[in-house]
Amino acid sequence: MRRSVPTSVPRWCAAIGALLVATSLAGRAQTIPSWLDSYREAAGRLIGAALANDFAWQRLAELTDTFGPRLSGTRNLEDAIAWIAGEMRADGLEDVRTEPVMVPHWVRGEETLEIVSPGPRSLALLGLGGSLGTPPGGITAEPLVVSSFDDLDARAAEVSGRIVVYNVPYQGYGTTVQYRTGGASRAARHGAVAALVRSIGPMGLRTPHTGGMRYDADQPEIPAAAISAEDAAMLQRMQDRGTRVTLRLSMEAHFEPDAPSSNLMAEIPGRDVPEEIVVIGCHIDSWDPAMGASDDAGGCIVTWEALRLMKQLGLQPRRTVRVVLWTNEENGLRGATAYRDAHADELDRTVMMLESDSGVFEPAGFGFTGSAEARRIVTDIATLLDVIGANRIGPQGGGADIGPSVEAANIPALSLEVGGDYFLIHHSPADTVDRIDPADVARNAAAIAVMTYVIADMPERLPKTE
Amino acid sequence: MRRSVPTSVPRWCAAIGALLVATSLAGRAQTIPSWLDSYREAAGRLIGAALANDFAWQRLAELTDTFGPRLSGTRNLEDAIAWIAGEMRADGLEDVRTEPVMVPHWVRGEETLEIVSPGPRSLALLGLGGSLGTPPGGITAEPLVVSSFDDLDARAAEVSGRIVVYNVPYQGYGTTVQYRTGGASRAARHGAVAALVRSIGPMGLRTPHTGGMRYDADQPEIPAAAISAEDAAMLQRMQDRGTRVTLRLSMEAHFEPDAPSSNLMAEIPGRDVPEEIVVIGCHIDSWDPAMGASDDAGGCIVTWEALRLMKQLGLQPRRTVRVVLWTNEENGLRGATAYRDAHADELDRTVMMLESDSGVFEPAGFGFTGSAEARRIVTDIATLLDVIGANRIGPQGGGADIGPSVEAANIPALSLEVGGDYFLIHHSPADTVDRIDPADVARNAAAIAVMTYVIADMPERLPKTE
């Protein structure tokens, strides 16, 4: 059953929304720079159309409900890409196309962690993406709980033959994620047989969070997995109490041969300078424990929706606007590098790149990396978004998928910034559409639509990054 | 490593606590009825000793860390009972003994739920206790999502051969639990092949909650399991959207022969009328997905601790105080009925029974069921607990384990009442000690100790229920 397309039914509704927003924007005229006068009406219409209904959230729900997790190498991912391409064509977007990318095909398989003694019991576990598995029958060993890499090094003499458990409280993703990405090899250096890491996120409900990890070339490769904060704290208490614990870790994780996938893109061609391109997007792959609704189907929906809104309203900007759904962000970045290479001749003509990959919660605005002059322009444009609370321009923009292209050609880079509890559900089974508010989807789509439309349409090209 | 026993180290600390509390109680003298004058000092000492350290929480952590889940029929349960008995003896409690109870031995086994199409993926699942399993290879069928028993009956013609999914939003445990306990047989009446129930609890993090279920004798027995609120909502959306869904449910659940277990008890014998008994307790068994820290190891710790505090302070009341850790509350109540039968000759001499089985969160007071006169007395005693916020006497007291005895002999019944998010973690993998505050354990233990001590010691026996 295809959802009713909102170009027909809620047009009167969208018109009213646009009117209300335009009125609101008019009332704030003193704060909006005069060079944006000509964009007030378009901004009002885009915002009004976005807020008129929950079409974008419903599409997000249908995408995540129908295709579920979209790990690189799975049929779910490829089916999702094919379905989105069909929907994009139905939306009237142009040049809808896929570009092939070979992606790693890591398979989780069955995995269990038990406390063999004292008292047999299972612990919640999520193997880390990229880990190898255990031998059949698992690895049975005593844990050694450490609180940091320094603590590990200080206890180096005790590590051999043990399963190292990193019980590092969450202090922000950027700070703590090093234990997930590099913990296995650091432990292997001292003779550990496996590594378990307290999940990188705030305390949940015994919720493990997966994510990528890497092996150092000069260390033995040992299996690595995430456990919940609660179980890490328990193993810590047992160690502190002097309880002798035996764990059995069993993981079937392995790589299969690289699999075909693709980046997906669609456009609204520029009416005046189509060779100059504004690129906005997200990653369509996800980790496998959940639906990847916030990471990153929501980002795909709001960037795609920005183009759909322009198309619906007949807003064709001066330059080309392209939405790209990159593949394999989570465990390879192959889509990001393939895009950079396939579009090498375009990067100098790429005016701006924007990524949404921090969830779609209460809108805050955008992060921006670029020249001071470009920042002034982007900050001016954001005044049009004051009405939906998305007017803040943060100190840094970018994203994993746009990173290679942005770096290759000094392209101004934006990232969607939102509030919310992204890291509570990130990479965990709880990353479902239920935690995303339809109104937030609409507001973020509107914010991206307005920002993108103005950058793509304004007379002067947004200055390049110095 | 045995924890340091707090009778020695923090005695000075406890003395200061007692002094502070006694001062506080003295300051509230106008609100405490004069017949309780002689109990102010003892109450202050009990509260002071309880609050002096985190001994009780540490014991709770050691119990749940060491023995983990304690489902009837498991070695974990019996090992936990044996360990507690040893600790009780070390505490100096008297007549520490077990009384044999044969308990059901339900085994969960492996269990999985998959959406076979569209897009293969696993859903979080917890089979319901008492359910039978599926045939090997599982049951593959289309779901039928219903919102209530009325909705089920209205769609009776569609049920045959389907897996009925009860997507009933949580409206309080007492209201919604009927779908877990009776949903399978109601669905089987119309020809369903299995039943899935949205977990009975508020929205978590894709958290399934298990619990008991029963088969009606006159309906076919079909497997029954709980899914998360998120997955129930997803199946609802897919049905509303017209998506054809196929599920595969696989469960190895089965019963093994009844297994030996026991009720555990310990006493402080009455110094004057030892034949009159005040009974306080909890259940020591738990469901298997987690540690049963709130359900109900915490209840065991705070009732046990009440006796330990009296013993530590040399407070021997007029009547006997007994703590009972009942077995098999969760899936059989065999401990509760065995206790009633084994102690039939004592029930008329049982002055009061108290159960703690709603978690150990912020103290509120007690529920009470009994005569108006007894309620006035209990309400008076609770004024001694104002200082720790446990002075409310609610309209109803009791508990599953004390129920059979209370009913058999019209025994006044109390239940510990607390705040907190009990049903967020109840019967789920998140029922761990991490969500329990050491200060709350101490305050609830103090509340039980004071209430129990006064009832056991006051000159007149607490009046029986009419």
Per-residue pLDDT of B251-262, as tens digits, reads: 999 999 999 999
Nearest to B118 among A66, A120, A241 (CB): A66
Of the residues B87, B329, B330, B355, only one is catalytic, namely B329
Quote the percentage of chain B above a pLDDT of 90: 92
Residues of chain A positioned with their CB less than 8 A from the CB of B76: 119-121
**Cross-chain residue pair A230–B434, CB shorter than 8 Å:** yes
Question: Are residues A401 and A323 in contact, defined by beta-carbon separation less than 8 angstroms?
Answer: no
The answer to whether residue B23 scores a pLDDT higher than 90 is no
**Which of A55, A60, A63, A66 should one mutate to test binding to chain B, selecting the residue with the greatest count of B CBs within 10 A?**
A66
Smallest CA–CA distance, residue B175 to chain A, in Å, is 23
Backbone angles phi, psi at B134, to 5 degrees: -95, 165
Smallest CA–CA distance, residue B76 to chain A, in Å, is 5
Question: Are residues A408 and A347 in contact, defined by beta-carbon separation less than 8 angstroms?
Answer: yes
Q: How far apart are alpha carbons A417 and A255 in whole angstroms?
A: 34
**Cross-chain residue pair A424–B121, CB shorter than 8 Å:** no
Instruction: Provide the pLDDT confidence category of residue B9 given band limits of 50, 70 and 90.
Output: very low
The answer to whether residue A144 scores a pLDDT higher than 80 is yes
Residue B329 is a catalytic residue: yes
Instruction: Provide the pLDDT confidence category of residue A1 given band limits of 50, 70 and 90.
Output: very low
Q: How far apart are alpha carbons A323 and B77 in whole angstroms?
A: 57
Backbone angles phi, psi at B388, to 5 degrees: -115, 15
**Cross-chain residue pair A432–B119, CB shorter than 8 Å:** no
**Cross-chain residue pair B206–A118, CB shorter than 8 Å:** no
Give the pLDDT confidence score for residue B463 in this predicted structure. Answer: 97
**Cross-chain residue pair B76–A434, CB shorter than 8 Å:** no
The answer to whether residue A363 scores a pLDDT higher than 90 is yes
Nearest to B68 among A121, A204, A433 (CB): A121
**Cross-chain residue pair B428–A203, CB shorter than 8 Å:** no
Residue in the structure block whose two tokens are 């200055």 = A463
User: Can you list the positions of beta strands (E) in A339-412?
Assistant: 350-355, 363-369, 392-394
Question: How high does pLDDT run on average in chain B?
Answer: 94
Q: Calculate mean pLDDT across residues A216-227.
A: 98
Residues of chain B positioned with their CB less than 8 A from the CB of A124: 429
Give the pLDDT confidence score for residue A370 in this predicted structure. Answer: 98
Q: How far apart are alpha carbons A194 and A185 in whole angstroms?
A: 9
User: Can you list the positions of beta strands (E) in A210-270?
Assistant: 224-227, 246-251, 254-268
Q: How far apart are alpha carbons A2 and A410 in whole angstroms?
A: 41
The domain A109-252 having CATH identifier 3.50.30.30: the answer here is yes
Give the pLDDT confidence score for residue A228 in this predicted structure. Answer: 98
Q: Where are the domains of chain A?
A: 11-104+260-457, 109-252
- Other C-beta atoms closer than 10 Å to the C-beta of B75 total 12
**Cross-chain residue pair A120–B79, CB shorter than 8 Å:** no
Residues of chain A positioned with their CB less than 8 A from the CB of B292: none
* Tokens describing residue A252: 């079937």
Quote the percentage of chain B above a pLDDT of 70: 94
Q: Calculate mean pLDDT across residues A370-387.
A: 97
The answer to whether residue B382 scores a pLDDT higher than 50 is yes
Smallest CA–CA distance, residue B51 to chain A, in Å, is 22
- Report pLDDT digits (tens) over A73-93: 999 999 999 999 999 999 999
Comparing alpha-carbon positions, the chain B residue that sits nearest to A436 is: B230
Instruction: Provide the pLDDT confidence category of residue A290 given band limits of 50, 70 and 90.
Output: confident
Give the pLDDT confidence score for residue B116 in this predicted structure. Answer: 96
Angle in degrees, CA B17, B20, B26, rounded to 5: 135
Give the pLDDT confidence score for residue B299 in this predicted structure. Answer: 98
Q: How far apart are alpha carbons B99 and B21 in whole angstroms?
A: 38
Domain topology for B11-104+258-457:
Aminopeptidase (3.40.630)
Q: Is B113 left (phi over 0), alpha (psi -120 to 50) or beta?
A: beta
Q: What are the Cα distances from residue B304, in Å, to A290, B106, B299, B330, B382?
A: 42, 28, 8, 20, 20
Chain B residues at the A interface, defined by Cβ less than 8 Å, are 1, 61-62, 65-69, 75-76, 79-80, 115, 118-121, 124, 203-207, 229-230, 233-234, 237-238, 241-243, 290, 424-425, 428-430, 432-434
Give the pLDDT confidence score for residue A466 in this predicted structure. Answer: 82
Question: Are residues A303 and A323 in contact, defined by beta-carbon separation less than 8 angstroms?
Answer: yes
**Cross-chain residue pair B119–A203, CB shorter than 8 Å:** no
Nearest to A241 among B1, B207, B238 (CB): B1
- Which residues have C-beta within 8 Å of that of residue B146, sequence separation ≥ 6? B152, B155, B164, B165, B166, B167
Comparing alpha-carbon positions, the chain A residue that sits nearest to B289 is: A122
Q: Calculate mean pLDDT across residues B423-445.
A: 98
The answer to whether residue B13 scores a pLDDT higher than 90 is no
Please give the residue that has the higher pLDDT: either A290 or A455. A455
Give the pLDDT confidence score for residue B31 in this predicted structure. Answer: 77
Q: Calculate mean pLDDT across residues A188-213.
A: 98
Residues of chain A positioned with their CB less than 8 A from the CB of B66: 118-119, 238, 243
Please give the residue that has the higher pLDDT: either B22 or B460. B460
Give the pLDDT confidence score for residue A32 in this predicted structure. Answer: 85
**Cross-chain residue pair B1–A66, CB shorter than 8 Å:** no
* Tokens describing residue B313: 């302070």
Give the pLDDT confidence score for residue B3 in this predicted structure. Answer: 46
Comparing alpha-carbon positions, the chain B residue that sits nearest to A240 is: B1
Nearest to A317 by CA among A368, A369, A280, A360: A280
**Cross-chain residue pair A68–B238, CB shorter than 8 Å:** no
Q: Calculate mean pLDDT across residues B386-395.
A: 96
User: Can you list the positions of beta strands (E) in A18-110?
Assistant: 94-107
Give the pLDDT confidence score for residue B142 in this predicted structure. Answer: 98
Give the pLDDT confidence score for residue B24 in this predicted structure. Answer: 62
What sign does the CA torsion over A204, A205, A206, A211 have?
negative
Q: How far apart are alpha carbons B422 and B435 in whole angstroms?
A: 10
Residue B227: which H helix or E strand, with range? Answer: strand B224-227
Interface contacts (A, B; CB < 8 Å):
105
- Report pLDDT digits (tens) over A26-70: 555 557 899 999 999 999 999 999 999 999 999 999 999 999 999
Quote the percentage of chain A above a pLDDT of 70: 94
Give the pLDDT confidence score for residue A18 in this predicted structure. Answer: 59
Residues of chain A positioned with their CB less than 8 A from the CB of B71: none
Instruction: Provide the pLDDT confidence category of residue B56 given band limits of 50, 70 and 90.
Output: very high
Of the residues A329, A346, A355, A417, only one is catalytic, namely A329
Residue B268 is given by DSSP the state E
Give the pLDDT confidence score for residue A31 in this predicted structure. Answer: 77
Q: How far apart are alpha carbons B436 and B429 in whole angstroms?
A: 15
Nearest to B68 among A115, A204, A433 (CB): A115
**Which of A75, A205, A231, A434 should one mutate to test binding to chain B, selecting the residue with the greatest count of B CBs within 10 A?**
A205
Residues of chain A positioned with their CB less than 8 A from the CB of B432: 206, 230, 234
Smallest CA–CA distance, residue B114 to chain A, in Å, is 11
- Which residues have C-beta within 8 Å of that of residue A464, sequence separation ≥ 6? A370, A371, A374, A410, A411, A412
- Which residues have C-beta within 8 Å of that of residue A61, sequence separation ≥ 6? A433, B237
3-class secondary-structure state, position B378: helix
What ipTM was estimated for this complex?
Answer: 0.94
Quote the percentage of chain A above a pLDDT of 90: 92
Comparing alpha-carbon positions, the chain B residue that sits nearest to A62 is: B238
Comparing alpha-carbon positions, the chain B residue that sits nearest to A77 is: B119
Residue in the structure block whose two tokens are 């990067």 = A347
**Cross-chain residue pair B65–A238, CB shorter than 8 Å:** yes
Nearest to B290 among A68, A206, A429 (CB): A206
Chain A residues at the B interface, defined by Cβ less than 8 Å, are 1, 61-62, 65-69, 75-76, 79-80, 115, 118-121, 124, 203-207, 229-230, 233-234, 237-238, 241-243, 290, 424-425, 428-430, 432-434
**Cross-chain residue pair B66–A243, CB shorter than 8 Å:** yes
**Which of B62, B66, B76, B117 should one mutate to test binding to chain A, selecting the residue with the greatest count of A CBs within 10 A?**
B66
Q: Calculate mean pLDDT across residues A389-409.
A: 97
Give the pLDDT confidence score for residue A355 in this predicted structure. Answer: 98
What is the length of chain A?
466
The answer to whether residue B36 scores a pLDDT higher than 70 is yes
Angle in degrees, CA B150, B156, B159, rounded to 5: 115
Give the pLDDT confidence score for residue B169 in this predicted structure. Answer: 96
**Cross-chain residue pair A205–B203, CB shorter than 8 Å:** no
**Cross-chain residue pair A428–B205, CB shorter than 8 Å:** yes
Question: How high does pLDDT run on average in chain A?
Answer: 94
**Cross-chain residue pair B243–A65, CB shorter than 8 Å:** yes
Give the pLDDT confidence score for residue B25 in this predicted structure. Answer: 62
Q: How far apart are alpha carbons A452 and A439 in whole angstroms?
A: 20
- Which residues have C-beta within 8 Å of that of residue B301, sequence separation ≥ 6? B56, B57, B59, B60, B63, B360, B441, B445
**0.90 surpassed by pTM:** yes
- Report pLDDT digits (tens) over B182-208: 999 999 999 999 999 999 999 999 999
Q: Specify the CATH class of A11-104+260-457 in words.
A: alpha beta
Q: How far apart are alpha carbons B226 and B228 in whole angstroms?
A: 7
- Other C-beta atoms closer than 10 Å to the C-beta of B181 total 17
